[in-house]
Amino acid sequence: MESQACVSLPVVRIQRFSTGDGPGVRTTVFLQGCPLSCVWCHNPETQSAQPVLLTDPASCIGCGACIAVCPAGARRWGTDGAPAFDRAVCRACGACDGVCPTGACELSAHAMTVEEILRLVLRDAPFFGEHGGVTLSGGEPLFHPGSLALLEALRAAGLHVAVETSGAVPRSRMVAAAPLADLWLYDIKDTDPPRLRAMTGADAGHILDNLAVCDTHTAGRIRLRCILVRGVNHTPAHWQAVAALSRRLLHCDGVELLPYHAFAGSKSLRLGRPDISRPDWIPSPADIAEAKRLLRSAGASVLE
Ligand code: SF4
Ligand code: SF4
Ligand code: SF4
């Protein structure tokens, strides 16, 4: 039987000294893979279950190193004499990433064992202080079954553990994971089921069932994290529904607003997709103040 420490996960990056992913100073581990496809996703490279290649022709110096090592013929000389890329035959092996001198070919994630991740996180433990710790993010950090082994290892190391989740995971995984985190940063992207389905692919009933499961099985806190998308979910009915959800939770830590931003465009282009960022969705300060007012007037505790 495979040791839990040897379980491997696709790690997008490990961000040290983060102050925006939970309380205190934190180390955030971003994992590849997400079952959703939010229109506003700011990490679109993490949606695929397995790593994908990001390319940036503007950074390419035409050295040809990627072409020499590519086993699939996905990197090759184009008819214009410049390196070309055929994503359809790319095996995401990462060989080009290993030799590219400029970062013009970059694999979105690399496999790491639980033991390797833990070792890197523990380097930062002296900086966590009283409130900090480690946060698992993504993608959907519970997407891979091996995430449970990582949670258990972090817990056994005595670290404060936060998990950012969309809730779009199998119920059994949420049952197993809920007791293993101190803080859940639980996305409530929209409370209107058809709109949620259209904008993210998520099933509202499933997300809310898992929220109840998390609330039942955790001994930690649950913070509802709500993206605010102007012209999409910024409605009185939505904020009143979020407030009602927060009031029903046994372990509610409050509601946190996440204003939409349009930063994902360059990543979409590096994935060979069009830039679908929407500057008109960015909420104004007045929109944010109004959402907070609606939440508070409906009984929610809004975190600043
Ligand atoms: S990731 Fe591998 S298969 Fe894909 S382009 Fe690079 S070297 Fe070729
Ligand atoms: S290795 Fe990098 S810089 Fe060289 S040709 Fe390939 S993508 Fe361009
Ligand atoms: S849940 Fe997060 S990672 Fe997944 S598609 Fe939505 S925004 Fe992107």
The angle formed by the CA atoms of residues 176, 10 and 276, to the nearest 5 degrees, is 100
State the pLDDT at residue 274: 86
Supply the Cα-derived Rg of the chain in whole angstroms: 21
197-219 per-position pLDDT tens digit: 999 999 999 999 999 999 999 99
62: Cβ below 6 Å to ligand 2? yes
Q: Check pLDDT > 70 for residue 2.
A: no
State the average pLDDT over residues 91-105: 97
43 C-alpha to center of ligand 3: Å? 7
Under a CB-based contact definition with an 8 Å cutoff, are residues 65 and 101 in contact?
A: yes
pLDDT over 60 (residue 1): no
Query: Considering the chain, what percentage of its residues have pLDDT values greater than 90?
Result: 93
Question: Does the interface predicted TM-score (ipTM) exceed 0.95?
Answer: yes
Alpha-carbon distance of 125 to 108, in angstroms, equals 26
Nearest bound ligand to CA 95?
1
Please, which pLDDT band fits residue 264 given cuts at 50, 70 and 90?
low
- Cβ distance 250 to 214 under 8 Å? no
Class of domain 53-107: alpha beta
pLDDT one-digit tens code per residue, 158-186: 999 999 999 999 999 999 999 999 999 99
Superfamily of domain 4-49+109-297: Aldolase class I (3.20.20.70)
Atom of ligand 3 nearest to the CA of 166: 1
Do 147 and 155 form a contact (C-beta atoms < 8 A)? no
The ligand with the least distance to the CA atom of 97 is: 1
Average pLDDT for 4-23: 94
What residue spans define the domains of the chain? 4-49+109-297, 53-107
Query: Could you read off the pLDDT of 274-289 as tens digits, one per residue?
Result: 888 899 999 999 999 9
Instruction: Specify whether the CB–CB gap between 7 and 150 falls below 8 A.
Output: yes
| Amino acid in position 203 | D
Closest by CA position to 212, among listed 244, 257, 167, 182: 167
